[in-house]
Chain A
Amino acid sequence: MSLSRRDFIKQLAAMSALTALGIPTKAKADQNIDFWSKAVCRYCGTGCGVMVGVKDGKVVTVKGDPNNHNKGLLCLKGALLAPVIYAKERVTKPLIRRNGKLEPASWDEALDLTARKFRESIDKFGPESVGYYGSGQALTEETYLASKIFKAGLKSNNVEGNPRLCMASAVGGYTTTFGKDEPCGCFEDIDATSCFFIFGSNTSECHPVLFRRIADRKQSDPKVKVIVVDPRTTNTARIADLHLKVKAGNDLALLNAMAYVIFREELDDPRFIERYVHFKDNEKKTHTLEEYLRFLDDYTPEKVADLVGVTAEDIWRAGRMFGEAPASLSLWCMGANQRTRGVWANNLISNLHLITGKIGKPGSSPFSLTGQPNACGGVRDTGGLSHLLPAGRVIAKKAHRNQVEKQWGIPQDSLNPKPGLHTTALFEAMSKGEVNCLLTLCTNPAHSLPNLHKFNPGLKQCFLACIETFSDAKTLEFADVVFPPSFWVEREGVYGCSERRYALIGKAIDAPGECRDSVNILVDLAVRMGVDPKLVPYKNSEDVWNEWREVSSSTPYNFMGITRERLRKESGILWPCPTEDHPGTKRRYVRGEDPNIPADYPNKYWFYGNEDGRAVVWMRPQKPPAEPADAEYPFVLTTGRVIDHWHTGTMTNKVPEINKSFPEAYVEINDQDAKRLGVQNGDNVELISRRGAMVFQARVGDVCNPGLVFVPWFDPDRLINELTIDAIDPGSKQPEFKICACKVRKV
């Protein structure tokens, strides 16, 4: 490379940083772009708006959308999205497995074979012998459509998706506390809060652009405090005023102890409690405030400090910081959700807001951060799980089924009243031969399920058809048919991020080869399976979107005002949004903000998801994880994401810059443990759990607590999920990826 070329690239590098900061630059590169098209980042639940630069029909660059909530900033993954589109591993033709090998086939062959297999299974074994497994990365329209095809067209409620693995406990937490799913607050609360309570979230790596906003807020006012609860000293914990480096798995006691401190210090809000809250125990029996306080007596900081693994003094500090702050914002993620008591952890975080009245005000809200870019929109809102129907309705309720039957134009009582199988039950049923055919869309369960040795036989045994972009996705090793879909900006559709914000991904380029839009693949397949064409009369995703708006309009979700036209003009709108002139809703359950509450409603707040209009403060006791460390397996294994890679790596491992800097997974181990085991940085160590063993290079340091090891889960050559446990939360059915026991051995 010549010097001048090198200097030119350095200028570009500096300009990209300036652009990310919102400083206008006259980038030479801009002059080489034919047009810019608006979209949403393909990766995390932050849902950053992006502008895709197209030249000669190809995406040549990606920059942040200055009009979206991210104000033009992207993290490295988002900025490097372009090479993913042009990866050599793109599937561009339908494939059928013949003699053990996936070989090119025609669309008719692939669709007919899949339709025939599904039809035969339904005719012979009933509709529950088939299923669908989708994704929080699919478009909203795709999930709504797939769910309708299976539930209304095929009468199978076996409709699941990978959000069961990441957000199901948040769904359970919100619905049990507020009666309705989804957060009440918005990202703007970050700019107004005075206390961040970050619980089980490595925001700096998993939601990097949001973390910048958090760091900005902290810096803008020295009175702003940050409390981080995490057994690792993550980059997020480094900005904390108080890092509670807890023992993994005992934090329910911590949350109850913080509630205890709040009452002892008289930081509670008696008026809010009296008007808007009631107390319930695990048997759903209602209790008085006095009984709740007696329940909390078992959780004094002094009583729980050892169990939690932090000092009583720090628990007092945490409770005071939360309660004394004018506004407190809780942000949590997989550390709370991927647990056998994930729903309870969610409830107990919301408790802190309800007892202090720190909810529904700028800067005050319980706020779960969604892992995936469209887990809220794509799956939760549209009812893409086995117990759900669109817009917060549930299959088990006849009234809800009847409403949806009417909207879908199918006979009353024709929907299957029995909820389908949740994710791990679905894959177990495949192993037992009870589910014979599965259609997947945009997901990689052979990498992302826990305890893979248990579930992979099911994938092998059943007829597996995958709508999948990349040929190296692990799941394709088991596929019988592969359908090549258009990817990201090759088709139009809508994503809904963590804050209930829906934004449009515009079509910017044509898809390669024979790729088709997934909406069209689903419609074509449904009709060939024998689904009434009148049930799926869609030409494109816009048709599906317009039906979804109608279906939501009689519920508190109400998307009626979020028209395609508005989405094309605006960079995201927060639901509920009942009319085209409605600006969208920043805070739910608040009169004057939430359009579901009449202007003349007598009270300021109304938790209308619950019949009595009150939110529930739950009395949830401490429970240990399913498989704590013991004498035989003395370490706790936890898994998670790193900033560079996304989920199963099928996209980020196509980006040379990322792959070179972060090619493989490692194990993070505490320096005291390493010393004891004679392990040095870079040594190979074997992790052994009750389910399997695997070798990783060691990274020794003080990030993990002693007794804890951490492995990122993106690496397809080191499938850490062969070691994780498939124990699930009994309420949300979400697996406990965050905690299982293991041994560590130098090799």
Chain B
Amino acid sequence: MTDTAAKTPVLEIRNLHARIEEREILKGVNLVIPQGEVHAIMGRNGSGKSTLSYVLAGKEDYEITEGEILLNGESILEMEPAERAAAGIFLAFQYPIEIPGVATMTFLKAAINAQRKARGEGELSTPDFMRAVKEAGAQLNVDSAMLKRPLNVGFSGGEKKRAEIMQMALLKPSLAVLDETDSGLDIDALQVVSKGVNALRDGKRSMLVITHYQRLLNHIVPDVVHVFSDGRIVESGDKDLALQLEAKGYADYDGQAA
């Protein structure tokens, strides 16, 4: 890798505006995440954090009215969600979807192989696939009983979140967006999930960790913390910014955003 390539950020968002049903939700987001860094976005409920995550993953419902999203220097705005995934974006959903009738293992295999195919790699053999699933499952306490169920069906809140991180471990994205991965987790589950996430911090993979509690950031310590309010980033700082927010709340930012 040349020096210039190394300096290209994994994610660069420029003045991003997005609306849904005539209502503007994202109002000029600017964000740069260099390779290997973990950035946190904190903001109160309804400020547009999940919207940002969906727009990154390519959900159709949103209209991008202005701005640009670059993944490793390339615009992804025209890319389908599946192409974005193959290009390295992974979204751990705030509310993972239950899909009855679709076996978890069938889904995992389809996802891994589709991404490999899109990248011009061969299919994973069944033994290699089983080994990878077993390994990732062991790390995240996802047992074989869970894997035998239909996708996310009947999973508790915590099981769903563990399963999301397990998918991330299997799909090895270059940019992981974790939307409120801590919500609905008790302290034990939070530790399992954080450990799983931290194991995937390898100095190359970048992450965007969305939360509205500081708590998660004690476990997944970010390089940079951004404060999100009314559809944009209003302040950025190091991990101590999260602690200040926890002490003072978001009130200071309310007027500023308007």
* Bind each other: no
